[in-house]
Chain A
Amino acid sequence: NAGVTQTPKFQVLKTGQSMTLQCAQDMNHEYMSWYRQDPGMGLRLIHYSVGAGITDQGEVPNGYNVSRSTTEDFPLRLLSAAPSQTSVYFCASSYRGGANTEAFFGQGTRLTVV
C-alpha cells in the first residue's frame, strides 16, 4: 500500500526552466492538493482538485499549473522557475468522507531554484 507517492525527492533547477512534480495516490481519493512549505510559514495551499477534470486555485497559485486527468495523478507544473519557488512541496489526498477525513501526505519534493 504505497499511499501518496511524489517524485522526484530532490530537484535543482535554473531560473527560467520548467518542470513537473509528480504525485500519485492509490487510495482512490477524490480530493488531491499541492502545498508548499517554507520556514516559519507552515504549509500553504497552491492548487487543489475535487475530482478528475476539476481543479481550483489555493492560496499561492501564481507560477504553478495543475491538471487532473485521472483520479490517481495530480502533477504540478512550474512554468518558468524563479528563486522564490525554492521550497519543499507536498502533495496530499483525502477522501470525500465527511467529518472523519484527514489528509494523507507524500514524502515531499525539495526544490532549489538557482
Chain B
Amino acid sequence: AQSVTQLDSHVSVSEGTPVLLRCNYSSSYSPSLFWYVQHPNKGLQLLLKYTSAATLVKGINGFEAEFKKSETSFHLTKPSAHMSDAAEYFCVVSDGNFNKFYFGSGTKLNVKP
C-alpha cells in the first residue's frame, strides 16, 4: 500500500531564509513521488517529480527535493524563500499505474517579510 506523511502541518519562515518541508513515504515498490503546490483558492500545480532517474530532483521556482530510500523520505527544500512561495504544499505518491495518487495532509508555508 502507498501512503505519505507530511511531518509539519504549518511551517513559517522569513523571506530570504531556507525552506524545508518534510515528507516520508510508504510504498510497496519503487515509488513515484511528486510535490504539488496550491495557492489560496487555486488548483494544484506540479512542482517536481521523482521517477528514479536521479535522487536529487529540481523543480520550478527554485525548489528541489532529494529522494532518500534508506530514510523513506522526499523532503522539499528551497535555499531562499520568497513571499510568493506562501501556499500549501502536498507530497504525493502514485500507485505505479498512475491512475491513483495518494496525498499527504499538506503543509501550509507562511513567509514573513
Q: Which residues of A does B touch, CB under 8 Å?
A: 31, 33, 35, 40-45, 48-50, 58, 90, 92, 94-103, 105-108
| Most interface-central of B9, B97, B101 (chain A CB within 10 A) | B101
> Contacting chain A: which of B14-22, B40-48, B78-86?
B40-48
Contact A108 B43 (CB under 8 A): yes
| Binary A-proximity of B89-109 (CB < 8 A = 1, otherwise 0) | 010101001111111111000
Q: Is B51 an interface residue (CB 8 A)?
A: yes
Q: How big is the B interface, by class? A: 20 to 34
B51 CB contact (under 8 Å) in A44, A92, A94, A99: A99
Nearest CB of chain B from residue A31's CB, rounded to whole Å = 4
Set of chain A residues within 8 Å of B104, measured between Cβ atoms? 42
Q: Which residues of B does A touch, CB under 8 Å?
A: 9, 32, 34, 36, 42-44, 46, 49, 51-52, 90, 92, 94, 97-106
Kindly state the separation between the CA atoms of A107 and B36 in the bound complex, as whole angstroms: 14
Kindly state the separation between the CA atoms of A55 and B103 in the bound complex, as whole angstroms: 20
Contact B43 A99 (CB under 8 A): no
Contact A97 B98 (CB under 8 A): yes
Kindly state the separation between the CA atoms of A49 and B99 in the bound complex, as whole angstroms: 8
| Most interface-central of A49, A95, A97, A105 (chain B CB within 10 A) | A105
Contact B101 A42 (CB under 8 A): no
B100 CB contact (under 8 Å) in A33, A42, A90: A33
